[in-house]
Chains A and B, each alone.
Chain A
Amino acid sequence: MNAPGRHTVPWRYIVPVLYIAFLLLPLYWLLNTSFKTNQEILSSFTLWPADFTLDNYRHILTDPSWYSGYINSTLYVVMNTAIALAVALPAAYAFSRYRFLGDKHLFFWLLSNRMAPPAVFVLPFFQLYSAFGLIDTHIAVALAHCLFNVPLAVWILEGFMSGIPREIDETAYIDGYSFGRFFALIFMPLIRSGIGIAAFFCFMFSWVELLIARTLTVTEAKPIAAIMTRTVSASGLDWGVLTAAGVLTIIPGALVIYFVRHHIARGFALGRV
C-alpha cells in the first residue's frame, strides 16, 4: 500500500510555510516594485511587473551621486569591522585568560555600552568629530560605530576563547612560541568561527545603522541609506528608484550571511551569539 499522505502536504508543514511566506512577502514586494515603472506602481495593483523594467537599477548604477553611497558605506563598514576586530581580539584574550581587579565589572560595563540607544551619542559625537575636523570622513563613522561593535565583538570572542583550554597556550609557550606567533598561528585558527561571527555582527550593525552615519557625514562619506532620502522630491516619491536602492542594500548583507552561515550555526552551538 502506498503511504496515504504521499501526495498531500503534511499538516505539520503548514505553519512554517505560512510563517515563511509572511516573512518573505515584504521582501517580494520590494523586489516586485523595483522592477516596475513609477506609472505602474502608482496606478495599479499588480502581483508581478506588467511592464518589466531595469531602468531603476540603471539609474542607480550609472549616477555617481547614487552609487558613491554604496562605496562610502562599504568603506566605513570594512574599516569599522577591521578596527573593531583588531581591538577586540587582544581585549577578549585578556578577559578570557587573566584575572585582574574589576575584570568582571569592566566586562559588564563594556557590554552596557550597547544598552544605550545610538541617538544618545549623536550630539557628543558630532561635537567631538567637529573639533578634530573629522566630519564627513569615513574614519569618523567607522570609529563612532566602534563604540557599539567593540563591546559586542569582545563579548562574542571572549566566549569562543574561553572554550579553548588554557593548556594549549601554555603548551605553545613551552614549545617556544612567542605570544604573537602563538596568537596568529595557533590561536586565531582555533577561534575562526568566533572571528567570523564577530565580523558578521560588526558588519551588520555598521551597514544598517543610519542615524550616526548620517549625522557625521555631509557629502564625501554619505552612506547609501542617507542618499535614499533624495528620492523624496517636490514631485513626490520616486518609488521605483527607492525600492531598487533598497534591494541593492540588502544584497551585501545577504551575501555575508550566506558565507558565514555555517559559522553562525556553530556559534550558536558553541559560543555566545
Chain B
Amino acid sequence: MLELTDISRRVSGEVIAQGVNLRLAAGVTNILLGPTLSGKTSLMRIMAGLDRPDSGDLRFNGRSVLGVPVQKRNVAMVYQQFINYPSLSVYDNIASPLKVAGAGRGEIEERVREAATLLRIDNQLDKLPAELSGGQQQRVALARALAKRAELVLLDEPLANLDYKLREELRVELPELFHSHGAVLVYATTEPLEALILDGHVAVLHEGRVAQDGPAREVYRAPVNLTAAGAFSDPPLNRVAARMQGPTLTLAEGEGGSTAAARLPEGAYTVGVRPHHVRLERQHAQDIEIRAKVVVNEITGSESFIHFNFAGERWVALVHGVRKLDPGAAFACYINPRDFLYFDAATGGALAAG
C-alpha cells in the first residue's frame, strides 16, 4: 500500500502536483489517467523517489519513505521511451538490478530467464538492445522491472510507443505478471479506453491535481466534475451551456431546443454529452434535435466520427457503421436528456439529476 498525503510540488513557480491524496493498493492496477503534462510522470517521479515533494508525505506500508534515497527504495520504473543500458547485453540489462543488489549467480540466472520467457525475449538474451525492435526493447525494460520483483512498479505509458497488436497483448498480460509478485502497480496512460480495459483503480489527473479517483468504471459512469468527465472521454466530451427555468431546461439560449425532462433547481449549467450518445436517428419522443453543418467526417471502417459546430463549441458524434457526410452538408442529430451529464456552470462540479 502506497499512500500519498497532500503531496505538492512546484518547479520554478509552475505547479507540478497540488494537494494529491491517493491510496494505491497492491493487487489492483492503479491507473493514472490524464493528458500529456497533466502531471502523471511528475507524480511517478515523486513516488519513485527521483523528485522530492515540497510538502506532503509518502508512506509505503505505513512507513514514510520520503527520506529514503531512490537506490534503497526497491522500486522499478519503465518509461514510455525504451530505456535500457545500450552497452549491456539483454541478459545483463535484465540482470542489472539483481547484480547490484548482490544476488547469487544461480538466482540471477533463474530470475532473468523466467522474466525473459514471460515476456518472450528469451531467445534474444545475447543481443544488445539496439539490435532489437522497439517492442522487444520495451519488453527488455519490462523484464528488468519484473525480474527485480520490486515492491512498487511504476509503468509510465509503457505501451504508448508499441504497435497496436503488441499493445493489446501486453495490456492484458502486464498487470497479471506484476500482480503475481504482490507489487503495488501504478500505470500511467493518456488513453481513457486503456484505463477502462485495465479496469483498475483510476485517478484522473488534471494540471497536477486529482480530479477524481475510484474504480475505473465508476469514474467513467459517474464523473464528479467536468474535468474528470472530459479526461475520461475519447473523443472529447461534447459540452453545451444550459439554463434551467421553471420546469424547462434550455440548451444554448434556445439555439439547441429545450426539454422538460430535467429536474434541477433553477440556474446555469453545463451539459455534457458523450459522443456516442449523439445519434443520427430520433429514437425517443423527448430527443432533442440539433441541426448543424458537418465540419469533418472521419470513417474508421466500423465507426464514423462526425465533427460539427454547435452553439460555438466543437462537437463530435460517434456513430456505428459507415455514414458518409460531405463537409459543409447540413444534417440533424438527436440527443436524449437521459444521457446528459449535468455540471454546475460556475464550479464544474457534477450534479446527480435528470
Contacts and interface: CB of A to CB of B under 8 A. Distances in A.
Interface of A: 165, 167-168, 170-178, 181, 186, 189-190
Nearest to A167: B83
Contact of A165 (B48, B76, B83, B100): B83
Q: Which of A171, A186, A189 has the most chain B CB atoms closer than 10 A to its own CB? A: A171
B50 interface: yes
Q: Give the 9 A-B residue pairs with the shortest CB-CB distance, closest first.
A: A189-B87, A175-B97, A176-B100, A167-B83, A173-B70, A176-B71, A167-B79, A174-B77, A171-B83
Q: Which of A167, A175, A181, A190 has the most chain B CB atoms closer than 10 A to its own CB? A: A175
22 contacts: A165-B83, A167-B79, A167-B83, A168-B85, A171-B79, A171-B83, A171-B141, A172-B85, A173-B50, A174-B50, A174-B73, A174-B75, A174-B76, A175-B97, A176-B71, A176-B72, A176-B97, A176-B100, A176-B101, A186-B85, A186-B88, A190-B86
B145 to A, nearest CB: 9
Contacts of B79: 167, 171
B304 to A, nearest CB: 40
Interface in B85-116: 85-88, 96-97, 100-101
A178 B102 CA distance: 13
Interface residues of B, number: 23
Nearest to A179: B71
Contacts of A173: 50, 70-71
Nearest to B87: A189
A190 B87 CA distance: 6
B144 A175 contact: yes
B194 to A, nearest CB: 22
A189 B87 CA distance: 7
B96 to A, nearest CB: 5
A190 B83 CA distance: 13
Contacts of B48: 170, 174
Nearest to A189: B87
A175 B87 contact: no
Nearest to B150: A174
Interface string B58-79: 0000000000001111011101
